[in-house]
A and B are shown apart, each in its own frame.
Chain A
């Protein structure tokens, strides 16, 4: 692409929103209230006004607990869902409103790895068929020999034994399958990989193997990652930048080292303190009140206020905006803005 400015991030997400309607069809929207039938539709606010960017070669991690909208963000960027509002730009081009045909060249550049390698590989296809399919689709003019060579090359580079090619997915363990799923994503030489919890379903010793593989691919192929996970120790190891999501909104975006050395948002602090540590004898975690509210009826103001120890009247009425901090991070919190956090902790 000629108009790509090198200063521009590879991926830009601007004010992204996604709502899912809960009521399917007209009849379900009818409600009986105070003796009258009224039309009322409810929706899940999965993603609310999120802006993020990823530069080339970065590994942008999106973390948060279940229901925070992190997988929805991944699916929106991959073009598997259409945003309700907002824009997604890739390499300087707006991609969220493209037609199927218009999206086609981008699907080759943007590939996705899913959490469950048992569900992401077709059980009726041999490994060779599964790996050759994307190459044939994106390079329709390639000869059979070229396709075969390409697939063999990728298999070797990610440690998939070419002798596995004739076997079916059920013959492999979870770690081997995830390796195959990664090989499948890499066969079309993508630039950008969206990985949605790629190692959560794997055992510890296998997690290390797969994470190493993804790091190697990043270096040797110059890949950019959007890495979705709930596991903070993986983020610290793998990510270059981190976005912490809560209830569909971004709490904090920072460089990985900055986020782990000086977390600012009260939710980020609580999240970091809750990770079970190997060496400490006694955990000293910040207790959060209650649990994540449902995204159906979002509270006004800050999404985190119902569980936040620092919430005041302003937090209940006004939604905080992400504000630049001196160390380069962005934090959406009134208490951080007003510098109340450490004052309370000290007092």
Chain B
């Protein structure tokens, strides 16, 4: 049985004059200990997916339809008591900006011990010992002293390590990390990525990594979902998606990276912008930016089909594959 199974999840936002659909019937599975990347640009719905999994959406957002089965139990139907038991305990979340996640007026120790004592029947001293062990696991030097410090006394990389330690405190089955390294410098990012990879592998913790950075996804995850305007447009093994993407959007995204072009040459840009939630075009949402779009693309939403090792939601995937430019590019 998979650890997490999302079926036809639809999330809507009730705005003053209309209701917009932020997630449109997304489905995916995550096995125990598996690392899954969710990529897409701003507005694709990747963060909303992360929030929904923990049932953290607040008004005006709500889960309209769909199931989120976590260890066989539907998160959407859970009452507050069950949700408290789920959040932090079995599923933990890491956000982009550690300064916002940590409480600035409490010491690191208070925040860690409070979390432990809220979920487990532990004495203060026992909780402190667990906190020290967890800080050591994330390679924080002299953890006893860190417990007495406030978040502002630590550097950005150190804070993100502490956030990871807090996420691991209660030995969750799944960690959802929303752009965990985006605010960090590259050398620190490399350290944090290595640390997260190591911890997930050694503790058999599942990871959902939400990011816009294809390089990060490529190095951290086994499987990847590519999102566009609230739908999953391509999914499969990360290596397959990076090396041989099928959807024109995924191809465009990878080809637009500077390292895919000879220095000084024009980058292969995707024209236009991602549509706003209130103005998603009919048919395939990508059709106004796609050079392969046909009348079918403009009228009917494509279903995901199995093609070339991945699942891809594109009407024209076969024609696209016989495209000469593409064959040349691959050769």
Q: Which chain B residues in 227-269 approach chain A with CB under 8 Å?
A: 239, 242-243, 252-254, 256-259, 261, 263-264, 266-269
Task: Name B181's closest neighbour in chain A (CB-CB).
Answer: A276
Q: Which of A14-47 contact B (CB under 8 A)?
A: none
List chain A residues, Cβ under 8 A from B158.
Answer: 291
A16 to B188, CA, bound (A): 28
Looking across the interface, which residue of chain B has its beta carbon closest to that of A237? B258
Residues of A within 8 A of B219 (CB): 276-277, 280-283
| Given contacts A278-B215, A283-B193, A287-B191, A205 and B242 within 8 Å (CB-CB) | no
B227 to chain A, nearest CB (A): 13
A197 contacts the other chain (CB 8 A): no
Q: Are A278 and B257 in contact (CB under 8 A)?
A: yes
The reply to whether A230 and B186 form a contact with Cβ atoms under 8 Å apart is yes
Which chain A residue shows the least CB distance to B141?
A290
Residue of A nearest to B261 (CB): A237
The answer to whether A276 and B189 have CB atoms under 8 Å apart is: yes
A199 closest partner in B (C-beta): B258
Q: Is A98 an interface residue (CB 8 A)?
A: no
Q: How far is the CA of A225 from the CA of B237 in the complex (A)?
A: 41
Given A277-B215, A291-B158, verify A270-B187 contact (CB < 8 Å). yes
Residues A208 and B269 in contact, CB atoms below 8 Å apart: yes
Q: In the complex, A288 Cα to B186 Cα: how many Å?
A: 11
B41 surroundings in chain A (CB, below 8 A): 203-206
Q: Knowing A173-B273, A208-B268, A278-B218 touch, does A203 contact B190 (C-beta < 8 A)?
A: no
Determine the residue in chain A with the shortest Cβ distance to B220. A276
Partner of B214, one of A204, A234, A283, A285: A204
B-side contacts of A173, CB under 8 Å? 273
Q: Which residues of B contact A273 (CB under 8 A)?
A: 190
Among candidates B189, B216, B259, B266, residue contacting A215 with C-beta atoms closer than 8 Å: B266
Q: How far is the CA of A277 from the CA of B156 in the complex (A)?
A: 23
Query: Chain A contacts of B2 at CB under 8 A?
Result: none
Asked if residues A234 and B187 are in contact (CB atoms below 8 Å), the reply is no
Q: Which of A66, A176, A209, A257 contacts B269 (CB 8 A)?
A: A209
- Give the chain B neighbours of A238 by CB distance below 8 A: 258, 263-264
Q: Would B242 and A279 count as touching, CB distance under 8 A?
A: yes
In the complex, what residue of chain A is closest to B255 when comparing beta carbons?
A208
A103 to B219, CA, bound (A): 49
Mark each residue of chain A from 193 to 222: 1 if its CB lies under 8 Å from any CB of chain B, else 0: 000000000011111110110011000000
Tell me the complex Cα distance, A237–B269, Å.
14
**In the complex, B123 has a CB within 8 A of chain A:** no
In the bound complex, residues from chain B placing their C-beta under 8 Å from that of A230 are 185-186
Query: Which residue of chain A lies nearest to B187 when distances are taken between CB atoms in the complex?
Result: A274
With A276-B213, A278-B254, A285-B190 already in contact, the answer to whether A256 and B263 are too (CB < 8 A) is yes
B256 cross-chain contacts in A, Cβ below 8 A: 204-205, 207-208
A residues in contact with B185, CB < 8 Å: 65-66, 230, 292
Q: Does B212 contact A (CB under 8 A)?
A: yes
- Cβ B186 vs Cβ A204 within 8 A: no
Residues of A within 8 A of B269 (CB): 205, 208-209, 212
A87 adjacent to chain B (CB < 8 Å): no
The A-contacting residues of B in range 177-222, CB under 8 angstroms, are: 185-191, 193-194, 212-216, 218-219
Q: Which residue in A176, A233, A288 is a CB contact (below 8 Å) of B259?
A: A233
Return chain A residues, CB-CB under 8 Å to B242.
Answer: 278-279
Contacting residues, chain A, for B263 (C-beta < 8 A): 236-238, 256-257
- Indicate if B157 sits at the interface (CB-CB under 8 A): yes
A83 at the interface (CB under 8 A from B): no
In the bound assembly, the distance between CA atoms of A211 and B214 in angstroms comes to 18
Nearest CB of B to A44, in Å: 16
Let me know if A271 is at the binding interface, CB within 8 A. Answer: yes
Q: Does B42 contact A (CB under 8 A)?
A: yes
Cβ A211 vs Cβ B189 within 8 A? no
Taken together as a complex, chains A and B put the C-alpha atoms of A286 and B26 apart, in Å, by 39
Which of B155, B191, B253, B266 has a CB less than 8 Å from the CB of A212? Answer: B266
- Within 8 Å by CB of B257, from A204, A209, A216, A280, lies A204
Q: Does A232 contact B (CB under 8 A)?
A: yes
Complex interface: chain A residues within 8 A of B186 (CB): 65, 230, 232, 271, 274-275
Q: Which among A204, A256, A273 has the highest number of chain B CB atoms within 10 Å?
A: A204
Asked whether any CB of chain B lies closer than 8 Å to the CB of A175, the reply is yes
Query: Which residues of chain A have C-beta atoms less than 8 A from B187's C-beta?
Result: 65, 270-271, 274, 285, 288
- A205 — nearest CB in chain B belongs to which residue? B270
Chain B residues closer than 8 Å to A283, beta-carbon distance = 190, 193-194, 219
A203 to B218, CA, bound (A): 18
Q: What residues on A are CB-neighbors of B212 within 8 Å?
A: 203-204
Q: How far, in whole Å, are A208 and B258 apart by their CA atoms in the complex? A: 8
In the bound assembly, the distance between CA atoms of A22 and B158 in angstroms comes to 24
Which residues of A are found within 8 Å of B157, using beta-carbon distances?
A: 291
- 5 more A-B contacts (CB under 8 A) besides A204-B212, A237-B259, A285-B194? A203-B274, A208-B268, A211-B258, A233-B258, A291-B188
The 4 closest A-B pairs by CB, nearest first: A276-B215, A237-B258, A65-B185, A203-B41
Q: List 9 A-B contacts (CB under 8 A).
A: A176-B273, A203-B42, A208-B258, A208-B269, A208-B270, A215-B264, A236-B263, A238-B258, A276-B190
